[in-house]
Amino acid sequence: MSERYSRQILFSGIGEKGQHTLGEKHVLLIGAGALGSANAELLVRAGVGKLTIVDRDYVEESNLQRQQLYTEKDVEQKLPKAAAAKKHLEEINSDTEVKVHVIDATAQSLQPLVPDVDLIMDATDNFETRLILNDLSHKYNIPWIFGACVGSFGMSYTIIPGKTPCLNCLLRTIPLQGMTCETSGIIGPAVQMTVAYQSAEALKILTENRGALRETFVSFDLWSGQFQSIKTGRSKKEDCLTCGTAASYPFLQPENSTKTAVLCGRETVQVRPPNPVDLELERLGRDFSAMGYEVKANPYLVSAQKDAERIVVFKDGRALVHGTKDIVHAKSVYQRLMG
């Protein structure tokens, strides 16, 4: 066994057998931003056999404060995050096979990538994609690890099909949605702590130490010093459409994905959420203002503009992203600002 992993092998929870097993495993990582780049680096340094990364974005200067894998040169070259991650990860450990896909993570694009993986890692920034991962995990019986962070707050949960409640179940009992990094900012330590919880669970699964897995939903606020570890057993619902007795995997169906359409004759893309919502427009306007957008509002909509980017959001969650005909870009803007 390589000297590279000698200190990890000395850890009784892994040992030589665990290290060998880890080197045969394949992880699918969705997202190469803050959580994604840090998880990717930890897994590659640990010696995972194969890592597949999916991300649709490119490296920007504002990423460097918390996305530890990237450099100013990546920003100058406007490299896709997945491509930049591959470059740096292969310099860290050439023994790990790193494959990347610069694509939007949808039910259609992800489904072909899932069947031969041992673990799915969540490093996304929106719940639509996470619910797709949740369905894929259960359809193909592959564990996945949820993680999210914003401000000084973070949370993580490990989902094992057939054993734990799924994300769809948890959303009924634990308030998970709300702030985004765009509206509330984020500090690096919140990223690192979330990644620590995620990657530790990943190592347990990948070295086949499932008996050591944490069985609680963890959340914390590093700024206030608060910490919660919530038992989730009672959250599991028999009627859940993802993990229940009559599972139908609703988030893999095209009709349940965010709808987009380029408006005829205009550089504008309309984005609609899967289901109508009832937004608090006054609060949304304040959030946009805090992000440096020029905001105009009335009882029916909020219009926010910063530089060349302009988005108009209606009370039912529908939005018009102006200045583009690129559906993937418009969807990215929508999810970045709306969560």
Tokens 């500090």 sit on residue? 187
Length of the chain counted residue by residue: 339
Looking at the chain, list the stretches that DSSP marks H as alpha helix, in order from N- to C-terminal side. 6-10, 15-22, 34-46, 72-77, 81-92, 107-110, 127-139, 167-173, 181-184, 188-206, 281-290, 327-338
| Topology (CATH level 3) of domain 258-338 | TATA-Binding Protein (3.30.310)
Which tokens belong to 185?
Answer: 């900012």
Distance between CA 297 and CA 312 in Å, rounded?
Answer: 9
Distance between CA 176 and CA 178 in Å, rounded?
Answer: 7
What pTM was computed for the model? 0.80
Tell me if the domain spanning 3-252 has CATH number 3.40.50.720: yes
pLDDT tens-digit profile, the chain (339 residues): 579 999 999 999 999 999 999 999 999 999 999 999 999 999 999 999 999 999 877 888 989 999 999 999 998 888 889 999 999 999 999 999 999 998 878 888 899 999 999 999 999 988 888 999 999 999 999 999 999 999 999 999 999 999 999 999 998 887 665 556 766 789 999 999 999 999 999 999 999 999 999 999 999 999 999 999 999 988 999 999 999 999 999 999 877 777 776 765 568 887 888 766 788 889 999 999 998 999 988 877 788 999 888 998 888 788 889 899 888 888 888 988 886
Tally of CB atoms within 10 A around 168: 23
Distance between CA 22 and CA 204 in Å, rounded?
Answer: 10
Contact by Cβ (8 Å): 181, 244:
no
Which tokens belong to 287?
Answer: 């959030």
Distance between CA 58 and CA 108 in Å, rounded?
Answer: 22
- CATH 3.30.310.10 positions along the chain are 258-338
